Structure 1
Amino acid sequence: MNEEIVVNTDTCYWLAEEKAADYFNILYDQIHQKTHIPPLITDLKSWSHHRRHRHSLFSLFSSHRKKPESYNHYVKWLEQKGKLDDYLERSVSYIYLRDMGKDLSSAGTRIKVRNVVEHLKKQISQRKESDLDAEQFNIAWLYRIAQKYQFESTMIWFIEKLKTISSVIPEEMDAEKAQLKLIKIITGVMINELEEKGEGMSPEELSRTLDTAVRLGYAYGLTYPFIDDLLDSKVLSEEEAKRYSEIIRTTLVTGSVPALGKWQGKNRHLVQFAHSELKKAFEYIKNHQTESTKNNFLEQAYVFFQAQEEDRNKDLLNGRYTNEDIFIPVILKSASSRLMIHAITSGENTEGLDQYTFYYGIYNQLSDDLRDMYSDLKEGTVTPYTYYLKHHKERPDLINPFELYWAVTHNLIHNIYHSDPKTCEVILGRAINGLKRLRAQFGTEKYNELMNRFASGIPKLNNLVQKISHKVDDVAFLDKLIRDQLIADLRNSSREQEEFFKSIEKIHPRINQMLTMPEEDALPQDPIIDAANYSLSGDGKRLRPIVTWMMGVHGYGLKSSEIEPLIKSLEYMHTASLIFDDLPSQDNATTRRGKPTLHQVYRTSIAELTALFMTQRAVREETKLDAFDADTVLKVIHYSTKSTEEMCKGQVMDLNAKGKNLTLDEMNTISFYKTGLGFEVALVLPAMLAQAGESEISALKKFSRHFGITFQIKDDLLDVEGDQQRIGKNTGIDAENNHSNFVSILGVEGARKAMWDHYCEAMDALQEVPRNTAFLKQLLTYFVNRDH
């Protein structure tokens, strides 16, 4: 697009402001005349009576057992109580109302809601009992969805983006919130894309539609961390924020992203990355539009941005803002943010959609602002709630935002949706559910204090609302419960990841220290001890001994001093295998663990003898496991030596495969023997020492097999795409030696898909291990995401 004005900013924002002002005046009149109170009281009484009647039969036969906390168990519990239909219909109806701007009184909408409900019920009923304890919203879950609908490459792309975004976002901002927002927006775009396309799509068309939805959702969702959150935070200086805002404004006015130019200071890399990603995102959205709908997208984007800017530039200490100053930007940004979703998918804005979506936005926004009020106050952010709290005593003219929320509720039910019973049920249910969640979030004392501040002007309505919210149960909504579970899973994963790196940071140097062989063991003129220590002193990951330590000590409660010989044994054996692997007769590698390979420093014959010496020293170490009974130690030695034999066979398979075109099955087999078996030994040996059962050991073996193949595929991808300096060894060796690998067999994209397939299989295997497997999950995720 040329550098021409494509959006008349003054006109589009003025028209939107005028419409928002008209809406505000309607709400203002209702509040001052209290005309909304009697109809709402009637609505609430009817709604409450209807729900009590609906569930009275079930309550006679249901136990008073506490509802499960996890999402999977909660849904199963609803099914057992006969409440699943009501829950799903309420939730799906709300999504059609909020995300798609649909009229719930329409026969077509009711049919679609019912079809979705039936589909969800079928999915829930097919879930196995064993699946209920599984983590629901993790990377494996996302990839499984993509597998089902054949858009795995897109999901891999998105997972990579999530990882990058999380690593770039500074500490002053919230990476977890950014991930959540991206996933939420992508879900909304997917819903709209699927709704627009309609039913009856072929698998190929469905796959393309979902690919587009994910990329569009990411493109739009990226604006939250890298425009809204970045400008709201204190990361950028005042001058930087002003310059950055002008770039965004110019983009929306002209339809083209201006060059960033030079950017100095500590935020240079962050701003460069954000500008680059936003540019690609903007171009993707713009190219998805038709010429006739492109302006609609740009206009909605401009209104949204300008409304955000007006709020962002407000000062909480300034007591002179009018009610219109406070509420009109809220109406605009809450409406345009939802209209943007429709604009970037269909680009069309039908009259009904515009009406429903425009008037609905502030309903959600006021609820969210109440939830975030205390954090907003702390940050000095101006919202209707923070400004009212700060200035209402000296400004009796200020409108109470909680009262306005109920005026909005009344207006939606009776003026926008024309008193439709289903819409009334859904909107009131959402309002009561919001208050119940608010009480749970703040605690009863703080919640009551909040209500005393904001509901004093509507005592009759508030008394009824509070009474109902105490009595009525089972008003949960699918999207909120999924959001809760997603937040819990993200936080849990973040905590586990932090503990994972702390554990490695703590254990790694201790293992390095224990591995060094004493010099007194060497004979005169004997370089083998020095050669062994040279190989051991490299910057190795110590993956196998770390896994053994964590499983032995934290998984099985063994003492670290008792399993130290096993830890040394595993690393000696592994290092010996690397020495053999690097020899001129095998891979002829020149670099290992960031330095020259052993045969280049000590010559080939010494390298061969050193590797043989280390295999024997490994067995000798295992004989020192004197804290365990002799039979168990013999079983450990038998298993480890047998595994070493099999690893040698795997290396022979690898050598014989040189110059041959291997099948995928052959490659999987070689990878298991070369790599997976090493992981298996590291897990199974501490399990054997702890007398673990056969089923548990079998699950560990299954995990190890898929872990090993995942690890090897990632190695092959790094061999093609990696940075030699970061990896610490030569890249392109397989191609140079004419070796088949996963990339040569499957191609880069196919190899990535296979890696994620095995990642999911490994994660599934961990569900069968009756231990705390958080370390193994994070280890697997770390190696999938590593760049060296």
Structure 2
Amino acid sequence: MIESLIINEDTCYGMAEEKASDYFQSLYQQVMQKSYVTTLTRDIQSWKHNHIHHHSFVTFLSRRKRKPTSFEYHSYLQWLDYTGKLDNYLDRSISYIFMRDLGKALDSNDTQTRIQSVVASLKNNFTQPKENRENKNELFSMAWLYRWAQKEAIELTIIWVMNKLKTVANHIPKGMDANHAQRKLIKIIAGVILHEVEEMGDKIPAEERAQRLDRAIRLGYAYGLTYPFIDDLLDSKVLSNKEKKQYSNLIRTTLTTGAVPKLGGGWEEKNQALITFIHSELREGFEYIKAQQRPETIKSFFEQSYVFFQSQEVDREKDLSNGNYTNEELFIPVILKSASSRLIVRSVITADEDEGFDKRTFYYGIYNQLADDFADMFEDLENGAVTPYTYYLKYHDQRADLINPFELYWSVISNLIHHVYQSDKKAREVILNRAINGLKRFKERVGSKKYNEVMELFASGNSKFNALIQKMVSKADNVDFFDKLLRDHMITNLKIERKEQEEFQESIERVREQINHLLPIAKDENAPLLSEPITEAANYSLEGDGKRLRPIISWIMGINEYGLSQSAIVPLLRSLEFMHTASLIFDDLPSQDNASFRRGRSTLHMVYNNAIAELTGLFLTQKAIEEQASLDDFDSKSVLKLVHYSAQMTAEMCKGQAMDLGSRGKPLTVDQLNMLCFYKTGIAFEAALIMPAILANAKDFEMRALKKYAYHSGIAFQIKDDLLDVEGDLNTLGKPVGKDADNNNSTFVSILGVDGAKKAMWEHYCLAMETLHEIPRNTAFLKHLLNYIVHRDH
């Protein structure tokens, strides 16, 4: 069967090169004859009437409200709505996506109907107050994705892909841009979903829609992996030149034979683990795509995949120090890779061939690529990358034969408007908007001085035409696009998320280490002649490899958010860990869970005996009260309120443990299990949040929000524990797996099954995350605590 998948790489690439060469020659003739100048001058003169306005009194009033920058995502959308520009903004943005990503012509009534439907949906979402929106979460956040998945009945698919994205992010090595890789992967998945949604329409049954969305997401992930783990990896300096050659040969063999070769040896030790992971993940993705192909589409998939890979390889192997590349060598790979990257999507989803889509996408690709290369030319030049712009920058004064890529860019635009989209007014509007917007964004980024220097070089072909372009860049309004806003917003969010995540991890480790130093209990110096095993036993339990989550939460919230003194709350931190450790000692006793292993070591009753364990648990409980009573830097009413609250919570936890013991071997409902979870786990989370809030005299509404957050995060924590008990590893967990099943305990997994438990965990994750909107302070730590809870492996 494999033999039928073999493609002739020379024939395949040669045919694609021939087609690209014909396209390039037609563009070359337009540049040489400057025919695009007259045509586009008329287009721009007509287009500019909608984009250069004389300021009326009404516009003066609207201008009094400051225009936010595009980085102020929500404010910018509100400003557009306030100034009456949102409809046009969304219309051109969605029209552009339909042209670029879906290969649509805008003169189709069906396409216009679809565009207006998407625009109306987006506008409704953007203009509603957050509390009235169906999905209140930050766009593309994990909570947002899960809420969307619930609506589409593909929760398990989204859980799968979120775990995959996290794993990929954790494997992006130094020397590669993790934020760029993550954003690109998300963008590819979204693009494949877009194609699938357009293919299936609105009238298919919900069950079939869910199946096709599931497939699209998995295909999008499998295809999207090639960007960070083939394209970006080979562009980076992570691999040696020898490794890059070996890796490229592996990819080429896969695409020409249809089978993934074994990894083999020859990798540097520092890259072995990375390459092993990438090989495994790409192989899994490749096999999934291949398995989804139909006999009539599989050859097309392999051919387009090979053209895409090979055109990138040809470009990648160029050396900027080589001054002898021809115009064809510079531009033909750009035409091929920019077109095939989008053509391949329809092959991936096994869509039927569409001659109109193929033609439009083939001619459109270089427009996008030249715009991107223009924006990145200085970064590319610094990295030694060969693009039409970097090459022209270096050799224009030595090579009179070189085509100016900026002129070719405008010839591409003229060709698209008049020969691909048949002079359609809306296509012209969108394409010119995009072109002018790209120049405006570039000018804002590099500054006017640098921009003028660039234009002096690249816009030298026709001074009159250039003057018109620069007038549009300076004066044209309403040319921005939602996908750029979303891109900026996503990049900003990914950077913030990564920074916050790093700070979260650093805080956890730093605070955990400091708390560990605070926990040991001094021996009683008044009883030197008697053996005093209780303190020794207490310290044995406290020295275990505990997560210290509860005192860490109180430390960070108390000090960072409530501004409490670090030294003043030390007794509170000690009391929380004393109480938690005491609960574990009791929990492990033969009369309760009869556990022999906890925190990576033998449980207390196994080291000493049952009586010492019981007395040590009681001892730690009393030491916790003693610590709380010594909070002498706070007013007595607050301390009394805290001690009263603590006593209540301890009593409730005892009730919860008794309920748990009484329910052993009995079938429980989810509601009963939720209640048990709250008593056993949620209360401890709540106490860690509420106690510093009590000391800080926080308002009642904030206390309620914190309790709600604790309730849902506590249940999510317990569900994750139940899942780890089934799927975890002894060495990672520090306690035996399968304990719940052995003890015949009702758990979320035993009641709901693994998949149902995962859905329940993510539901509580979303509810906890949505509660953070009600807390009037920085909640970054609590957000990442939730992320830690659902993604932890111990």
TM-score range, shorter chain: over 0.9
Name the amino acid aligned to 1:404.
L
Question: Paired residue for 1:21?
Answer: 21
Question: Is the contact made by 1:249 and 1:302 (CA closer than 8 Å) also made in structure 2?
Answer: yes
Question: Given the alignment of the two structures, is residue 582 of structure 1 paired with residue 588 of structure 2, yes or no?
Answer: yes
Structure-to-structure mapping, 1:320-331, within 5 angstroms? 320-331=324-335
Deviation, 1:384, is 0.9
Question: What does residue 142 of structure 1 align with?
Answer: 145
Per the TM alignment, residue 782 of structure 1 is displaced from its structure 2 partner at its CA by 1.3
TM-superposition CA deviations, 1:452-503 (whole Å, max 9, x none) = 2322223322222222222223322121111111111111100000111111
What is the match of residue 34 of structure 2?
34
Q: Secondary structure at the match of 1:171?
A: coil
Distance 1:23 1:300 in 2: 18
**Structure 1 position 701, deviation (Å):** 0.5
Residue in structure 2 matched with residue 634 of structure 1 by the alignment: 640
Q: Could you list the per-position Cα deviations for residues 133-169 of structure 1 after superposition, in whole angstroms to 9, with x for gaps in the alignment?
A: 9633321111111111111100010011111111122
1:294 and 1:347 in contact (8 A); partners too: no
Native 8 Å contact 2:93 2:481 kept in 1? yes
What SS does structure 1 have at the residue aligned with 2:296?
coil
Q: Give, in whole Å, the separation in 2 of the partners of 1:277 and 1:137.
A: 23
In the alignment, what sits opposite 2:94?
Answer: 92
2:191 is aligned to 188
CA contact (8 A) 1:137 1:489 kept: no
Distance 1:309 1:598 in 2: 61
Structure 1 position 681 matched with structure 2 position 687: yes
What pairs with 1:612-623 in structure 2 (closer than 5 Å)? 612-623=618-629
8 Å CA contact retained: 1:632, 1:688: yes
Equivalent position of 2:601 in the other structure:
595
Match of 2:67 in 1: 67
- Residue 226 of structure 1 aligns with an amino acid whose one-letter code is F
1:409 aligns with 2:413: yes
RMSD: 1.8
Distance 1:716 1:451 in 2: 62
Amino acid at match of 1:665: D
Match of 1:379 among 379, 383, 403: 383
2:508 aligned to 488, 504, 508, which one?
Answer: 504
Is 1:716 the counterpart of 2:722? The answer is yes
Q: 1:129 to 1:48 in 2, by over 3 A?
A: farther
Find out whether 1:206 has 2:209 as its counterpart: yes
Corresponding residue for residue 237 of structure 2: 234
The counterpart of 1:77, out of the listed 79, 83, 98, is 79
Quote how far apart the aligned CAs of 1:522 are.
7.0
Matched residues in 2 for 1:130 and 1:451: separation?
48
Trace 1:333-732 onto structure 2 (pairs within 5 A). Answer: 333-520=337-524, 523=527, 524-732=530-738
Name which of 751, 772, 778 aligns with 1:772: 778
Q: What is the letter of the counterpart of residue 304 of structure 1?
A: F
* AA of the residue aligned to 2:420: I
Q: What letter corresponds to residue 416 of structure 2 in structure 1?
A: L
**Structure 2 residue aligned with 1:316:** 320
5+ long unaligned stretches in structure 2: none
1:660-716, CA deviations, whole angstroms, 9 ceiling, x for partnerless residues?
Answer: 111000111101110011010000111111111001111100100011011101111
Q: Partner residue of 1:118?
A: 120
Misfit runs of 4+, over 4 Å: 53-58, 129-134
Contact (CA 8 Å) 1:3, 1:256: kept in 2 or not? no
Q: Kindly indicate whether residue 297 of structure 2 is the aligned counterpart of residue 293 of structure 1.
A: yes
**What is the deviation of 1:61?**
4.6
Preserved contact between residue 522 and residue 528 of structure 1 (Cα < 8 Å): no
Q: More displaced, 55-64 or 346-355? A: 55-64
**CA distance in structure 2 between the partners assigned to 1:509 and 1:125 by the alignment:** 47
**Structure 1 residue 127 displacement after superposition:** 4.2
Q: Are 2:281 and 1:277 equivalent residues in the alignment?
A: yes
**Whole-angstrom distance in 2 between the partners of 1:450 and 1:564:** 60
Worse-matched range after superposition: 103-112 or 325-334: 103-112
- Tell me, in whole angstroms, the C-alpha distance in 2 between the residues paired with 1:487 and 1:64: 29
- Give the unaligned 5+ runs of structure 1: none
Taking a change above 3 Å as real, the CA distance of residues 433 and 356 of structure 1, as seen in their structure-2 partners, is same
Q: Which moved more, 1:296-305 or 1:40-49?
A: 40-49
Aligned positions, number: 788
TM-score if structure 2 supplies the norm length? Answer: 0.97
C-alpha separation in 2, matches of 1:94 and 1:732: 53
CA distance in 1, matches of 2:651, 2:369: 65
Partners of 2:52 and 2:477 within 8 A in 1 = no
Q: Secondary structure at the match of 2:295?
A: coil
CA distance in 1, matches of 2:381, 2:267: 32
Output the CA distance in 1 between the equivalents of 2:733 and 2:756: 22
Matched residue type, 1:773: T
**Where does residue 2 of structure 1 map in the other structure?**
2
**Most deviating of 217-226 and 473-482:** 473-482
Alpha-carbon distance in structure 2 between the residues aligned to 1:57 and 1:387: 49
Q: What is the 5 A alignment of 1:47-66?
A: 47-52=47-52, 59=59, 61-66=61-66
2: CA distance between counterparts of 1:247 and 1:340? Answer: 20
Is this contact kept in 1: 2:294–2:350, CA < 8 A? no
Amino acid at match of 1:171: K
Q: Deviations over 1:268-292 (max 9, x none)?
A: 2222221222122112212222111
Q: How do residues 159-198 of structure 1 correspond to structure 2 at under 5 angstroms?
A: 159-198=162-201
Structure 1 length-normalised TM: 0.97
Per-residue CA distance 1:365-405 (angstroms, 9 max, x = gap): 01111222222122211111111112112112111111211
Q: Residues of 2 paired with 1:385 and 1:713: CA distance?
A: 54
Q: Is the 8 A contact 1:6 1:255 kept in 2?
A: yes
8 Å Cα contact 1:577/1:611 also seen in 2: yes
Partner AA of 2:442 in structure 1: L
Give the deviation of 1:446 after TM superposition: 2.6
Instruction: Confirm or deny: 8 A CA contact 1:540 1:593 kept in the other structure.
Output: yes
Amino acid at match of 2:323: G
CA contact (8 A) 1:137 1:485 kept: no
CA distance, structure 2, for counterparts of residue 662 and residue 489 of structure 1: 41
User: Offset at 1:340?
Assistant: 0.6
Structure 1 residue 45, shift from structure 2 partner: 2.1
Look up the SS of the partner of 2:777 in the other structure.
Answer: coil
- Contact 2:243–2:267 (CA under 8 A) maintained in structure 1: no
1:30-71 deviations in Å (ceiling 9; x for gaps): 112111112212212221112346996962552432233432
Deviation readout 1:322-361 (Å, 9 max, x if unpaired): 0110000000000000101122124433221111000000
Task: Write the distance in 1 (CA, Å) between the matches of 2:151 and 2:131.
Answer: 21
Amino acid at match of 2:460: S
Q: 1:129 offset after TM fit, Å?
A: 5.8
CA contact (8 A) 1:433 1:475 kept: yes
Cα distance in 2, alignment partners of residues 473 and 707 from structure 1: 47
**In the TM superposition, what is the alpha-carbon distance from 1:510 to its structure 2 partner?**
1.1
Cα distance in 1, alignment partners of residues 663 and 142 from structure 2: 34
Deviation at 1:425, TM superposition (A): 0.1
Q: Contact conserved, 2:199 with 2:351, CA < 8 A, in 1?
A: no
